């Protein structure tokens, strides 16, 4: 099991390295960084100064070595707009995104598994249909629209919740609720389908022939088998949240990584962008390993 | 007459499907007592499993509906008791084992946990259950029982899994054990062992055994009484010997007549030229030797059977000859030219001359292609028969040759029965006018009566068009009826080969003898005689 996870970790690490190499070359292929970084009316002298300062006048290979060395020390340079190390700016924003993603996913997973399982047991019944309709709406509703409607309704008209920003637990309710909807809708459907096929599996027949009660058949025999495909989708959805919910964070003025990335791209703060790419990539890398571990705990056939 | 322990009386079960109501079981009555073995014999779709499922409350209602009847266990009607009352009986008083033990064991829990659950589910303490599990797993002959209990189902062989299922079923000493095709997925030698084990355990515990099967040989070996089912009805009932020797119903007569292994053995033609010469063909997967120095010659017009148990390398042999797998060494000469080293262009034309028919026509026929498309696809690949009208005529002709109708050409595979689908697969192979057809377990999935028809069709094609066959099979009866030459394979090696008559009547290799001894005869007297001989023979 440890061998398997080690293998997967090495494979993920390799893709992380490839990503960093791509970031380096793409940021140099898209034109002269000096022209991109500096204002449009910057003089040639300013540009030259900029290039010398950032080593952009040296050979590419040397620049690459410098870049790798900097990445290893987590030194992405200063944020051009904030005059602080880029990595600090990014980690600060990530400290907002990470709990947002974790709280949302935790709620999604619990709600989706419970409701998906209930729908599967009552297949074709009124509860099943109700859950299916709700989850379909959730999976297909555009989140930016829901976010805006929620602000108008709960913050402006009813005045129950703050419109944007952070500070109190009340500030978290709308961002979490809006981010909850889509992955919830999707995962409920996957849980329901997966539970349905697991309930039709021959080993359920065996359990019934053994005289096992309904509750352990559902929660012990079936659920663990049904979770395998669900975990893949959970990982996929969690990755999207770890990348930063750009639109939702922007609408709610939530100072997370998604908002930071958009702001930095618009402000040409490339050091921050590069640091943000690395940090989110590492987060997704760690999450993939956790998914692999969850898989091998649930399914003994993977352990060999 | 005293009341039997379990009595099914006038049971009728309907299945309501999208295509209308199916009367799965009509007015079925049977009973079983302690110490007795009742076989329920029938082909697929006969409803033989349905009444047992009703006994165990395993029918999905809907689509199933119990229309009438009663199931009396110790005088109590199981169709009327509460769900909870029925659950308490399941496993404890009446236990059940199934055909496919891999699917019927939960893949994510250890077998020990699953066996113990049989007792804990009925409120027994876990430590007692563990002790009993260890005792039973030892009893059913699993090596290293302590360790085995900590393993998962996929870590055992098919035969071992069925033994574990049996151990699980016997945990609470049930009065009745229902076994639904318990040995169908197993090799013959393993089948013989599992049936012997069931018999021993029955003698030890005195339980009643209900055995659901399609196999006359299994009935002959183990049952006292038999009920024969056809299309949801019990058409005949009686002691096994009485039913075998004096069948009254035409269906029973047909079933017994279709049982393979009774016909005259064919003699191989001696003067025919060699079509396929295989010389020291070898194939390994890593450290596992799948095929070891296989050599044989197949002459034109011959039916050469390859028999052996699962994992013996039969299919690898065929796949390596066809170059679907890359051989490690050796030669396969097709009309003198080596298939193994042939250029891709030459290989393509040889692929027309050698066609293949697979075991499962449901999977080997693309469900989204019509019969016409399936049969004519080969002509597109090999750029034959460009004229559409000629194609149409030829497809009609081929369908007639395999016993189907021209109007079937526009239909899709799901609209046919299993036997008809295999006919379509044969028509597809014939379309390219092959000289050799490789049949990989081509009749194994079919009911015996259908099996006999498909074999007659293949044999007719051989006589008519001089087609040769490489016939891979595990059923010795089928091989005896069909082939004129036989190769016996074990662990990747050909251990014996020769004319069918010699291999069957005077086997040389001990493995061949074991295989033949384990093959069940549909005649209960023959089986009884064999058992007696085995009991008195010095071991």
Q: Which residues of B touch A123 (CB under 8 A)?
A: none
Inter-chain CB proximity A205 and B58 less than 8 Å = yes
Q: Which of B426, B417, B477 is nearest to B454 (CA)?
A: B426
Contact B121 A211 (CB under 8 A): yes
Pairing mode, if any, of strands B76-77 and B233-239? unpaired
CB contact under 8 A, B91 and A221: no
pLDDT at A304: 63
Cβ under 8 Å to A: B residues 358-377: none
CB A151 within 8 Å of CB A174? yes
Q: Is A130 on the interface with B (CB under 8 A)?
A: no
Task: Closest CB to B103: pick one of A202, A209, A216.
Answer: A202
Give the pLDDT confidence score for residue B369 in this predicted structure: 92
For chain A, give every residue range classified as CATH 1.10.3720.10.
Answer: 86-299
Per-residue pLDDT of chain A (304 residues; tens, 9 = 90+): 677 778 878 887 888 888 888 887 777 666 666 776 677 777 888 888 877 877 777 787 888 888 888 888 888 777 777 778 888 888 888 888 888 888 999 999 999 998 998 888 888 888 889 998 988 888 888 888 888 888 888 877 887 877 777 778 888 888 888 888 888 999 999 999 999 988 888 899 999 999 998 888 888 888 889 888 899 899 888 888 887 678 888 888 888 888 888 888 887 777 888 888 888 888 888 888 888 888 888 888 877 6
With CA atoms as reference, the chain A residue closest to B104 would be A203
Cα–Cα distance, B21 to A276 (Å, whole number): 63
Could you report how far apart the first and last alpha carbons of chain A are, in Å? 7
B55 touches A: beta carbon within 8 Å: no
* Cross-chain Cβ contact B121/A206 below 8 Å: no
Domain extents in chain B? 274-521
In this predicted model, what pLDDT tens digit does every residue of B329-344 receive, in sequence order? Answer: 999 899 888 888 889 8
What pLDDT, on the 0 to 100 scale, is given for residue B211?
92
The answer to whether domain A86-299 has CATH 1.10.3720.10 is: yes
In this structure, what are the phi and psi dihedrals at residue A291, rounded to the nearest 5 degrees?
Answer: -60, -45
> Looking at residue A31, what is its pLDDT?
65
Do the chains contact at B106 and A301, CB–CB below 8 Å? no
Q: Report percent pLDDT > 90 for chain B.
A: 22
Asked if this assembly's ipTM is beyond 0.95, the reply is: no
Output the pLDDT for position A93.
87
Low pLDDT (below 50) residues in chain B: 1, 539
Inter-chain touch A210–B118, beta carbons under 8 Å:
yes
Cβ separation B121–A221 shorter than 8 A: no
Q: Does the beta-carbon distance from B98 to A206 stay under 8 Å?
A: yes
Alpha-carbon B474 to chain mean position: 9
Identify the closest residue of chain B to A202 by CA–CA distance: B104
Residues A162/A170, Cβ–Cβ less than 8 Å: yes
Q: A260 by DSSP, 3-state: which?
A: helix
Question: B363-388: b or e for each residue (b if 16 or more CB lie within 10 Å)?
Answer: ebbeeeebbbebbbebbeeeeebeee
Residue B1: per-residue pLDDT: 45
Model pLDDT, residue A6: 80
A225 touches chain B (CB under 8 A): yes
Q: Are B93 and B175 in contact (CB under 8 A)?
A: yes
CATH 1.20.1440.230 is right for the domain spanning B274-521:
no
Burial of A167 (0-12, 13-18, 19+ CB in 10 A): exposed
How many angstroms away from the CA of A289 is the closest CA of chain B? 21
């Amino acid at each position: 099991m440890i061998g398997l996870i080690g293998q997967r970790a090495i494979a993920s690490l390799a893709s992380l390295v490839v990503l960093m190499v791509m970031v380096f070359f793409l940021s140099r292929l898209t034109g002269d960084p000096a022209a991109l970084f500096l204002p449009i009316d910057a003089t040639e002298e300013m540009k030259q100064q900029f290039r010398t300062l950032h080593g952009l006048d040296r050979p590419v290979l040397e620049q690459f070595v410098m870049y790798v060395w900097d990445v290893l020390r987590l030194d992405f340079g200063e944020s051009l707009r904030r005059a602080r190390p880029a990595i600090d700016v990014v980690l600060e924003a990530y400290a907002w995104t990470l709990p947002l993603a974790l709280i949302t996913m935790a709620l999604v997973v619990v709600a989706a598994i419970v409701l998906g399982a209930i729908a599967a047991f009552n297949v074709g019944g009124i509860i099943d249909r109700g859950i299916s309709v709700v989850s379909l709406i959730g999976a297909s509703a555009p989140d930016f629209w829901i976010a805006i409607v929620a602000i108008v309704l709960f913050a402006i008209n009813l005045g129950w919740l703050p419109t944007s920003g952070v500070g109190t637990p009340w500030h978290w309710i709308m961002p979490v609720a809006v981010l909850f909807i889509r992955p919830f809708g999707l995962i409920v459907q996957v849980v329901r389908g997966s539970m349905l096929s697991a309930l039709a599996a021959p080993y359920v027949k065996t359990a019934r022939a053994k005289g096992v009660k309904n509750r352990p058949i559902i929660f012990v025999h079936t659920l663990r088998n049904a979770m395998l495909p669900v975990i893949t989708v959970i990982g996929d959805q969690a990755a999207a949240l770890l990348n930063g919910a750009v639109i939702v964070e922007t609408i709610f003025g939530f100072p997370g990584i998604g908002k930071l990335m958009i702001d930095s791209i618009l402000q040409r703060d490339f050091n921050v962008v590069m640091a943000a790419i690395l940090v989110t990539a590492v987060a997704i890398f760690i999450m993939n390993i956790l998914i692999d571990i969850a898989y091998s705990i649930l399914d003994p056939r993977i352990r060999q | 007459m005293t009341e039997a322990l379990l009595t099914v009386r006038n049971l009728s079960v309907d299945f309501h499907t999208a295509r209308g109501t199916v009367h799965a079981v009509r007015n079925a009555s049977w009973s079983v007592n302690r110490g007795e073995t009742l076989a329920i014999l029938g082909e697929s779709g006969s409803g033989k499993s349905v009444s047992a499922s009703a006994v165990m409350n395993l029918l999905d209602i809907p689509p199933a509906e119990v229309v009438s009847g009663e199931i009396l266990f110790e005088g109590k009607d199981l169709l009327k008791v509460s769900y909870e009352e029925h659950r308490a009986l399941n496993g404890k008083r009446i236990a059940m084992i199934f055909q496919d033990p891999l699917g019927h064991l939960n893949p994510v829990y250890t077998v020990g946990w699953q066996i113990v659950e049989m007792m804990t589910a009925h409120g027994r303490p876990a430590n007692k259950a563990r002790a009993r599990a260890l005792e039973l797993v030892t009893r059913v002959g699993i090596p290293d029982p302590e360790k085995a209990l900590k393993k998962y189902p996929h870590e055992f062989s098919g035969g071992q899994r069925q033994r574990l299922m049996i151990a699980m079923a016997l945990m609470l000493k049930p009065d009745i054990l229902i076994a639904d095709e318990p040995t169908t997925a197993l090799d013959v030698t393993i089948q013989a062992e599992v049936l012997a084990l069931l018999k021993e355990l029955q003698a030890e515990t005195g339980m009643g055994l209900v055995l659901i099967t399609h196999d006359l040989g299994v009935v002959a070996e183990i049952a006292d009484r038999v009920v024969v089912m056809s299309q949801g009805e019990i058409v005949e009932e009686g002691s096994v010997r009485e039913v075998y020797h004096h069948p009254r119903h035409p269906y029973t007569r047909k079933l017994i007549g279709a049982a393979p292994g009774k016909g005259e053995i064919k003699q191989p033609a001696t003067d025919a030229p060699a079509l396929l010469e295989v010389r020291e063909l070898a194939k390994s997967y890593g450290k596992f030797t799948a095929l070891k120095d296989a050599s044989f010659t197949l002459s034109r017009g011959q039916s050469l059977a390859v028999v052996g148990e699962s994992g013996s390398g039969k299919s690898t042999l065929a796949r390596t000859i066809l170059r679907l797998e890359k051989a490690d060494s050796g030669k396969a000469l097709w009309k003198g030219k080596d298939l193994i080293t042939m250029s891709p262009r030459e290989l393509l034309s040889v692929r027309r001359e050698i066609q293949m028919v697979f075991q499962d026509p449901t999977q080997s026929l693309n469900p989204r292609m019509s019969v016409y498309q399936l049969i004519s696809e080969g002509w597109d690949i090999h750029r034959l028969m460009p004229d559409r009208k000629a194609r149409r005529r030829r497809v009609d002709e081929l369908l007639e040759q395999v016993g189907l109708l021209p109007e079937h050409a526009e239909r899709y595979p799901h609209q046919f029965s299993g036997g008809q689908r295999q006919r379509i697969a044969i028509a597809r192979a014939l379309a390219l006018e092959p000289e050799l057809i490789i049949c990989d377990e081509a009749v194994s999935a079919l009911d015996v009566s259908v099996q006999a028809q498909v074999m007659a069709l293949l044999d007719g094609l051989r006589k008519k068009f001089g087609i040769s066959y490489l016939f891979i099979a595990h059923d010795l009866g089928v091989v005896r009826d069909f082939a004129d030459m036989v190769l016996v394979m074990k662990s990747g090696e050909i251990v014996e080969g020769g004319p069918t008559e010699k291999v069957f009547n005077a086997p040389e290799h001990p493995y061949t003898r074991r295989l033949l001894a384990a093959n069940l005869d549909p005649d209960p007297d023959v089986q009884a005689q064999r058992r007696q001989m085995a009991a008195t023979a010095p071991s």
